[in-house]
Amino acid sequence: MNEKRNFLKELNEQQKSAVLNTEGPTLVVAGAGSGKTKVLTSKLAYIVEQKKAWPNQILCVTFTNKAAKEMRDRVNKILLGKTTPLSWLGTFHAISVKFLRRHAEAVGLKSNFTILDTDDQKKLIRNISKVENIDTKKISPQFILALIDQWKNKGLLPEEVKLSRKHIFENQILNVYKIYQGKIRDLNSCDFGDLILYCVKLFEKNPDIRKVYSNNFKYILVDEYQDTNFIQNKWLQLIVNENQNICCVGDDDQSIYSWRGAEIKNFLSFDKVYPNCKIFRLEQNYRSTKNILDAASFLISHNKDRLGKKLWSDSKKGDLVRLNCYKNGKDEAQGIGDIIEESIKKNKSLNDIAILVRAIYQTREFEERFLKIGINYRIIGGIKFYERAEIKDAICYLRIINQKFDDLAFERIINTPRRGLGESTVKQLHDFSSKNKICLEDSAHKLLQLNQFKPKVRSTIKYLMDLIIKWRSDLKKKKHYDLLKIVLDESGYSAMLKNQKDLENESRIENLKELLRAMHDYDNLQGFLEHVALATSIDQEWEDEKVNIMTMHAAKGLEFDNVFLPGWEEGLFPHQKSLEEKGDFALEEERRLAYVGITRAKKNAYISFATQRIWHGDWMDSLPSRFVNELPEEGVEKNEELVKDVSNDFDFNQDNLLENNEEYRSPGWARLKKKLLK
């Protein structure tokens, strides 16, 4: 017994107090790197080890399957390898499925119901939209599903929705919601939003069933409580027992997912819902140096809606947090690349380095720089810039304008955006091309002359062919980057993106804006297309180690020795669109995002901003983020413009990379040159 309980000796006093307090409602405010998972798993193990409850009487809820597996493994390790059947440990959705399989009839389903994936949902929405004469170019299936998901996260079935008129298409979408919900019921199916919503309805309408579970679950443990939405919190409140033995662990300062429906008020109002609750603060950080923690704590203290805590560490003060000012985005990428080169010289691992951006389009300049100086990298939670679908689409348009024999480009753009040209039309073009040994574009022209297309197909293809001819003419008179704007508008691609209102689509639009910015670095279309081809073909598997590039949202829960936080400028961070839509609420969430970014660093944090950025093709002056002024004076080293005017020394031109023998400042050039000459 004593041997088993050694795990308590591994806890600090704050952690131990939180673990030993098993009775009544408990909120554990766990700062970044303070051992949140350790406390939760130790608490679960302690309850089992002390026989306060059987394993099947403990409900433990996580947000990811990975977190659930990690907790299960840790508990079994604490209990000396004894396999503990924690049958009610899992995600909200996984546990909800177990409830519904047992009580499917009570919510109008059969126990063998299926769960629709996203593709199934989109297909069903498209079919309904077609029947209801809804133009999917104006109201995309993604947007419809996003709004339906919002309603479900608020606990609203179709008949319970009250229109807010926030969106002009709400009335139409509500009608789709009614039909959609009826159809999936007819299919004996539900979607992910239904899983939790139906459980809530099940417990509300069947108090006897709810009581069975609330009596069974002697203890409820919840991870990442700050990320819960309305319906998840309601779900928890319905099944907590009369003793209110619920323990929620999280960090209000790391609540950064409101765009996914998370409601920080669940966390902040815990003591109002459970007046007798005990609050424990885990403030000792085991990850970062004192200077990093002080900078993060000082910054987040500017938020008003928070419970409050002060992180501290036994570790050394460490290096100062570096605040670097650069002339422009290109210099910022170069400056960060140079610092990483110095790390390579010191035999530091690239795996221990991360660049955390606010928006995914910011990765482009870093990718370009690293490709050119031979630093290997990976994009976490995303796709490399020139491999993103919208970038490939745009470049394929440019490729076919550049030369008509590019069949691969032609095939990609012929029905992008959708023009009603199916596989049969593409096959017809291929067959004719193969038979006559001509390219697909010439095949299209020839088949038009021969009147071989059906009337609707003929008019569509003729319109596209006329556009391509026009664009080639435009190229002779306009800059290549101005041409891309015209192509995106006249092809219907811009309209397609504007009409798709999902969050991912906003990123696609930003990526295309970044592509336009990238094109300004090249004198002509040919040079740019050569650069793209080289950038996508360079072997990126030179070594196993890679610099990690990701958004700050994707970085939550991760840690690295060295963290770079570029682009701390007004409009970019905090993000202007967020501020316009949600005001002070968004500002506080953006500040929490900054806090998350800084606290990913274990040893070194580098914050940077540029005084100029290219915006819509023009150089614009940038203002430092207000978060820069919210950093403490002590513990932060503020550097003025670090990079001199080096535009003649290094530019973003792959021709120079391959043909110019001048020595570059970066030692990575020699490494890359050697690789390319093999």
Among this protein's residues, is 210 annotated catalytic? no
**Is 600 tagged catalytic?**
yes
Catalytic residue among 14, 15, 36, 363: 36
Structure tokens at 17: 């107090």
Biggest distance spanned by C-alpha atoms of the chain: 90
Q: What share of the chain is helix, strand, coil (3-state, %, to 5)?
A: 55, 15, 30
CB-based contacts of 46: which residues, under 8 Å, 6+ apart?
8, 19, 20, 22
Strands 601-615 and 618-621 come out as antiparallel
**Contacts of 608 by beta carbon, 8 Å cutoff, 6+ apart:** 323, 324, 325, 326, 332, 335, 336, 564, 565, 566, 567, 568
Instruction: Using alpha carbons only, give the angle 452, 453, 459 rounded to the nearest 5 degrees.
Output: 130
Clarify whether 114 is annotated catalytic: no
Residue 322 is a catalytic residue: no
User: Do the Cβ atoms of 556 and 256 come closer than 8 Å?
Assistant: yes
Task: Check 223, 251, 263, 406 and give the catalytic one.
Answer: 223
Q: Which of 224, 227, 332, 352 is an active site residue?
A: 224
> Which of 636, 68, 541, 561 is closest to 296 using CA atoms?
636
| H or E segment and range at residue 44 | helix 36-49
Q: 510 phi and psi, to 5 degrees?
A: -65, -40
Angle between helical axes of 141-153 and 503-519 (0-180°, round to 10): 130
- Per the DSSP assignment, residues forming a β-bridge with 278 are 26
Gap between the Cα atoms of 32 and 29, Å rounded: 10
Q: Among 254, 362, 425, 500, which one carries the catalytic annotation? A: 254
First to last CA, the chain: 63
The SS3 call for residue 42 is helix
Instruction: Clarify whether 651 is annotated catalytic.
Output: no
Say how many C-beta atoms besides its own lie within 10 A of residue 621's C-beta. Answer: 10
Is-catalytic flag, 36? yes
Catalytic residue of the set 600, 602, 603, 613 = 600
Catalytic pick among 4, 16, 37, 506? 37
State the Cα–Cα distance between residues 663 and 262, nearest whole angstrom.
Answer: 51
Instruction: Point out the residues that are catalytic.
Output: 36-37, 223-224, 254, 600
